[in-house]
Structure 1
Amino acid sequence: MVFVLVAVAVVALLAGVHRYVWRRLVGDTTAPGSALRGAGTVAAFVLPSLSFGAMVSGRAGAPFWLQQVLAWPGFLWLAVLMYLTLALLAGEAVRPVLRRVLDRRDRAAAERRTRSGEGAGTQAGTEPLTGARNRNGALVPSGAPARAPQAPEPDGAAEPQPWRRTAAASSLALPSRRLFVARAVGGAAAVAGLGTVGYGTYGVLRGPRVRRVTVPLAKLPRSAHGYRIAVVSDVHLGPILGRAHTRRIVDTVNRTRPDLIAVVGDLVDGSVADLGTAAEPLAGLRAPDGSYFVTGNHEYFSGAAQWIDHVRELGLRPLENARVELGGFDLAGVNDIAGESEGQGPDFVRALGDRDRGRASVLLAHQPVVIHDAVEHGVDLQLSGHTHGGQLWPGNLLAGLANPTVAGLERYGDTQLYVSRGAGAWGPPVRVGAESDITVVELASRQA
């Protein structure tokens, strides 16, 4: 019942947002019956339908080719809709200001015309008049045709005052002014929204940037000082990001020459059958101490057991609630909490319970929320992802409500937590205010 109510609320919200965007970008800027209005109205129905199809096709088991067809326009429209709406809402504050500016401009122009007309009349009245007089005794300038006498104006029928002419002109100009304001604000909002999404898409397709962070560990021996771990999270291979994206990530990681590579979950959004070939470049990862993998929540939407077997075949070592002792520290990994639905959730006792706490320890865990379990078990450093840094501003504000740390390095008691923004994107292949990254974490010994 709760799910149905939430679904109804979401559908109602999206319908309202689409109605608002249509009104501001189409209804207010085009003429009824015009081709542009017809095209805009069709788009207002087709685009959300594509978005709905993109979101449900994977879960509904649609053929992968159909998922790919729907994904690009459907997911991109969600991002465009978001930033169009934000830009249009900002434009609501601009509309009255722009109208007032236009009103003042028109009044000033009318006053200038009025003053110009009065000056011309005064100048003409100062010139001497010569010529014959008409039957009423009025002097008629030479060369001017004689005019028949006119009856006096009745009371109340005097020449309209300048302010009346200005008001009439403004009244006639009002519809065109409203159209101008609507088109100016709508056009600016469209440029801002599309430009933002275009730049954010370029950032994702270009590939992640390398970040470098130094983390001092009190228990790390001098021999391990400067040890480098390449942290890769949230690759999200799927209908949009495929094999080429994996290759970019592998090349970027290998160029950093890490000692160890940690893939901390949400590698895929789909089955091994659909995405196995997209993940194959991971076999090219190179590090002296190897590559390790822990599950994220999306692996449990995509067949976690099959993916664990597949990444093992590619040369990565899955850490399923397990630990390995390296030269200078213990490396442990726990399953994602989404695995609890399958009886495969995180088990900190199994991964960390019997270890020597005199040794430094690094924990791989997809979600930052398990930091409190890490503190309880004496972990020195937890490496996580999951948040995407918010991915789409102002999504970082929402991510902050659900996660102790959205991105970067923070300390919780004696345990430090580093959260990567991730190397890919989920849903829209767009990032705004949260650039994708691969982080090289360099461990520092306080004894060095």
Structure 2
Amino acid sequence: MFVLLFAAVLGGVHYYLWRRLVRDTTRTRRARRVGTVVLVALYALMLAALSLTRVSFAAGSVVAWPGYLWLALAFYLALALAVLEVPRVLLQRRTAPEDPDRRRFIARSIAVAGGVAATGVVGYGMTEALGEPRLKRVPIVLPKLDPKLTGYRIAVVSDIHLGPLLGRAHTERIVRLINGVEADLVAIVGDLVDGTVEELGEAAAPLRDLVSTHGSFFVTGNHEYYSGAQPWLAELERLGVHPLRNERVAVERAGARFDLAGVNDVTGAGFADGPDFAKALDGRDASRPVVLLAHQPVQAHEAARHGVDLQLSGHTHGGQMFPFHLAVGLQQPVRSGLATVDGMPVYVSNGAGFWGPPVRVGAPPDVTVVELRHKLAAG
């Protein structure tokens, strides 16, 4: 259903591109036919990237790069041409109907300007998406935190999205970045993979090299359920990354403790493996703080009702490609960074990878070091 809906929307986008790039700019029928065939082929390639990557990893890998790149380019090309509609209309109004050559010249000029703008944006977005994730340091005050735990560092990474476009080298780079901060604990908050253990086990293998004082922990994201959650949970255990499946563990330093809890992603409900906040949080010592790992920020409402002190999430990609930032708010209470939901602090990572196009515009990838602080030491 997702692919069908996406195909319909993108079909409309491609029809608009055909009108502005082919119909308005060509003089002969032959040129129009060639342009039409090219656009139809690119549309089919894009649909193949969207669908085959979900059906066959090998086949999807062949079409993923060109298909997803065209998806990004088509989107920004349509956006640029839409912005240029105003000058196009004004210039066309000043042109006599009996002067088709000038009308084609205007259309071609608009098409070139839109193409240059779209190519520039996508090129920039590729350097962001494929470049090194930015390291963020975010201090967060927890009033119930024991002063002995002030300065406790949690390395938060989400949405790594190993798959047809991101492999072992991507994991190795993230592991190096995390190990360089000498964190007390590593939290991987979902959407690690877009493929099965058989397809991506080797790509995930460097996670065994993660180093921290109290270990590495993981909660499922929606994409784990599309990729075979149970085999991946077993594989992560083998690599020394501990899944928190609606459960919690006590973390201790210098005799002081806080609870680290994790709940399954909401998508798990469709796989008989949904989140269970009561199981993860009930019966704990309410005098000490609890930090919750939950893939989607929307889970914060339920977390706040259970007295969670801090939720760490991902899922949104920070919007990934402007202006999709605006759509995130329709589904999630927080798009990126630190915010408050129902009186509870929530930190949302942009993620270290990407889904679909290897493009990020206005939402660079990140790995975050969350530093817990006692209220008296916040300054």
TM-score of the two chains, using structure 2 as the length reference: 0.93
Are residue 59 (structure 1) and residue 60 (structure 2) matched? Answer: no
**Partner SS for 1:86:** helix
| Residue matched to 1:260 | 185
> Would you say how many aligned residue pairs link Structure 1 and Structure 2?
373
- Over aligned residues, Cα RMSD in angstroms? 1.9
Amino acid at match of 1:445: H
Amino acid at match of 2:210: L
**Aligned equivalents of 1:362, 1:7: Cα separation in 2:** 36
**C-alpha deviation, 1:189, in angstroms:** 0.3
Q: How does 1:107-146 map onto structure 2 within 5 Å?
A: none
Equivalent pair of 1:221/1:447 in contact (CA under 8 Å): no
**Partner SS for 1:335:** coil
**Partner SS for 2:139:** strand
- Once the two structures are superposed, residues 58-80 of structure 1 have per-residue CA deviations (whole angstroms, 9 ceiling, x without a partner) of 333x2x22111111111111111
| Residue matched to 1:45 | 40
**Aligned equivalents of 2:339, 2:302: Cα separation in 1:** 16
| Residue matched to 1:21 | 17
| Residue matched to 2:71 | 78
Q: Are the structure 2 counterparts of residues 265 and 28 from structure 1 closer, same or farther at C-alpha, using a change threshold of 3 Å?
A: same
**C-alpha deviation, 1:226, in angstroms:** 1.0
**Aligned equivalents of 2:267, 2:372: Cα separation in 1:** 29
- Once the two structures are superposed, residues 318-369 of structure 1 have per-residue CA deviations (whole angstroms, 9 ceiling, x without a partner) of 1111111112311111111111122211111111101101001100000111
Are residue 370 (structure 1) and residue 363 (structure 2) matched? Answer: no
Equivalent pair of 2:246/2:261 in contact (CA under 8 Å): yes
Equivalent pair of 2:3/2:51 in contact (CA under 8 Å): no
- Once the two structures are superposed, residues 419-445 of structure 1 have per-residue CA deviations (whole angstroms, 9 ceiling, x without a partner) of 111111111111111111111111111
- Once the two structures are superposed, residues 343-398 of structure 1 have per-residue CA deviations (whole angstroms, 9 ceiling, x without a partner) of 21111111110110100110000011111211111110000001111111111111
Are residue 440 (structure 1) and residue 369 (structure 2) matched? Answer: yes
Structure 1 portions without partners, runs of 5+: 104-169
Of residues 80, 86, 91, the one that matches 1:87 is 80
- Once the two structures are superposed, residues 93-136 of structure 1 have per-residue CA deviations (whole angstroms, 9 ceiling, x without a partner) of 11134457x87xxxxxxxxxxxxxxxxxxxxxxxxxxxxxxxxx
Are residue 205 (structure 1) and residue 122 (structure 2) matched? Answer: no
**Aligned equivalents of 2:269, 2:349: Cα separation in 1:** 23
**Aligned equivalents of 1:10, 1:315: Cα separation in 2:** 38
Q: How does 1:185-224 map onto structure 2 within 5 Å?
A: 185-224=110-149
| Residue matched to 2:229 | 304
**C-alpha deviation, 1:48, in angstroms:** 1.2
- Once the two structures are superposed, residues 150-192 of structure 1 have per-residue CA deviations (whole angstroms, 9 ceiling, x without a partner) of xxxxxxxxxxxxxxxxxxxx787x2232122111111010011
**C-alpha deviation, 1:306, in angstroms:** 0.4
**Aligned equivalents of 1:395, 1:47: Cα separation in 2:** 22
| Residue matched to 1:385 | 314
Q: Are the structure 2 counterparts of residues 12 and 332 from structure 1 closer, same or farther at C-alpha, using a change threshold of 3 Å?
A: closer
Amino acid at match of 1:434: A
Determine what percentage of the aligned residue pairs are the same residue.
53
**Aligned equivalents of 1:425, 1:287: Cα separation in 2:** 25
- Once the two structures are superposed, residues 185-206 of structure 1 have per-residue CA deviations (whole angstroms, 9 ceiling, x without a partner) of 1101001111111111111111
**Partner SS for 2:81:** helix
Q: How does 1:408-423 map onto structure 2 within 5 Å?
A: 408-423=337-352
Which stretch shifts more, 10-19 or 358-367?
10-19
**Aligned equivalents of 1:13, 1:352: Cα separation in 2:** 42
| Residue matched to 1:358 | 287
Equivalent pair of 2:7/2:47 in contact (CA under 8 Å): no
Equivalent pair of 1:363/1:381 in contact (CA under 8 Å): yes
Structure 2 portions without partners, runs of 5+: none
TM-score of the two chains, using structure 1 as the length reference: 0.79
Equivalent pair of 2:136/2:367 in contact (CA under 8 Å): yes
Equivalent pair of 1:380/1:414 in contact (CA under 8 Å): no
Q: How does 1:171-182 map onto structure 2 within 5 Å?
A: 174-182=99-107
**Aligned equivalents of 1:65, 1:258: Cα separation in 2:** 36
**Aligned equivalents of 1:342, 1:12: Cα separation in 2:** 28
